[in-house]
Amino acid sequence: MRQILEQNLNIKKTKWPDFFRCINEELVILEDNLRHKLPTKSSLLKEIVSYIFNAGGKRLRPATCFLVAKGTGGITEKHMVLSELTELIHTASLIHDDIIDSAKLRRGRETISNLWNDKISVITGDFLFAQASVRLGQLENTDIVKIYAKVLSDLCNGEIEQYSLLFNTNISWDDYINKSKTKTASLFAACSKSAAILNNVDSLSIKMAHEYGNSLGIAFQIVDDILDFTGSSAELGKEAGSDLKQGIITAPALFAINSADNRANQLKTIIENKFNKASDDFKKAIQLIHELGGCEKAKLLALEYSEKSKESLSFIKDNEIKSYLSQAADFVAERIS
């Protein structure tokens, strides 16, 4: 079982955390549902769906959902549905994002857009969103419908905001954190909160579950943004520095741009010129971000949000599950791929 999970969850290189082990049965069922049980008569779509989910992924959102469920009364059939719809929304949004960002690689494999084309990507994303909606209906809970409608809205707003702020070196920390909330944390918060709602816990616990997911999601996004600068292409499964190259200003660049050092202005100018002036402008920008300590400072910010997420765990009474959720927060802040 461990071997299957290691292989499935794409975390071979890191220590296999205990928190995955305590929900391995549910993760294996989820994996099977995603890979083999999405209903379509189209052989093309079957092939694409299998391609997508065989690429792995850490399944951190479903894991969050399962752990919160376990800590608030137990994992029910509805939590299985909730975790699946959460991963479907996540995957659909990645597929559409890859069209928008003209991405060539994702999780170490060619994107759907690159391997097939943009048209197929649009249909595939829409199909996964539709399948998520079907599962949302199965939950028969209008509060959760509202929560996930807000997530879809947030995901779009995050993507639009990112698009409208490309190469804008004047973006504020509020802009950055807000975009991280809408693009990433919103879905973490939704699955954590909804897992608690499905177990009929009190409203304060629901609020805390939301807070846990929200802080965890922001930490996750910041680490993702650091990895864009520090990871190798092989580790990342996509080109290193690809966000900055497109003009997306994330935490490491933002810390560097806002540092008191004179080189900050040089970095700003290079980015504002869209790396057009000299052929090694892009390399120079990466170098300046490292020299100005952008990644180290961003790491501290990620740890701050990871700690904040742990502080929200008072709603979990079971100490073992609480420690797993705490471990998940550490894993998010410390992951190297």
> Which residue stretch of 98-106, 167-175, 198-206, 260-268 sits at the interface with a copy of itself (rule: CB under 8 A)?
98-106
Contact flag: residue 115 with a copy of itself (CB under 8 A): no
Supply the minimum distance, in Å, between the C-beta of residue 194 and a copy of itself. 13
- With beta carbons less than 8 A apart as the criterion, state whether 212 and 324 touch: no
Is the separation of the CB atoms in 159 and 246 below 8 Å? no
Site for a copy of itself in 8-47 (CB under 8 A): 40-45
Eight-state DSSP code of residue 261: S
In the list 83, 131, 309, 312, the residue contacting a copy of itself (rule: CB under 8 A) is 131
CB of 238 to a copy of itself, least distance (A): 18
Nearest CB to a copy of itself, comparing residues 146 and 283: 146
Size of the site for a copy of itself (CB under 8 A): 43
Q: Which is nearer to a copy of itself, 26 or 101 (CB)?
A: 101
Residue 85: CB minimum distance to a copy of itself, A: 10
Among 76, 153, 265, 269, binds a copy of itself (CB under 8 A): 153
Give DSSP secondary structure letters for 270-334: HHHTTT-SSTTHHHHHHHHHHHTTHHHHHHHHHHHHHHHHHHTGGG---HHHHHHHHHHHHHHHH
Nearer to a copy of itself, 27 or 85 (CB): 85
C-beta of residue 75 within 8 angstroms of C-beta of residue 202: no
Min dist CB 124 to a copy of itself, Å, is 9
Could you say which of 100, 177, 264, 303 contacts a copy of itself (CB under 8 A)? 100
Minimum CB distance to a copy of itself, residue 37 (Å): 14
Place of tokens 């419908």: 145
Distances, alpha carbon 101 to alpha carbons 243, 248, 255, 331, in Å: 9, 10, 23, 27
In contact, 82 and 209? CB cutoff 8 Å = no
Give the angle subtended at the CA of 210 by the CAs of 184 and 149, to the nearest 5°. Answer: 60
Quote the strand ranges of 130-212, DSSP E: none
Q: Which is nearer to a copy of itself, 164 or 203 (CB)?
A: 164
29 Cβ contact list (under 8 Å, min separation 6): 80
DSSP assignment, residue 200? T
Nearer to a copy of itself, 274 or 290 (CB): 274
Taking the complex as a whole, how short is the minimal distance between the CB of residue 252 and a copy of itself, in angstroms? 25
**Contact range with a copy of itself by CB under 8 A, out of 63-71, 160-168, 186-194, 238-246:** 160-168
Task: Determine, following the binding rule CB under 8 A, whether residue 174 of this chain makes contact with a copy of itself.
Answer: no
Task: Give every CB contact of residue 269 below 8 A, 6+ residues apart in sequence.
Answer: none
Which chain residues interact with a copy of itself by CB under 8 A? 40-45, 96, 99-100, 102, 118-119, 122-123, 125-127, 129-131, 133-134, 136-138, 140-142, 145-146, 148-150, 152-153, 155-157, 159-161, 163-164
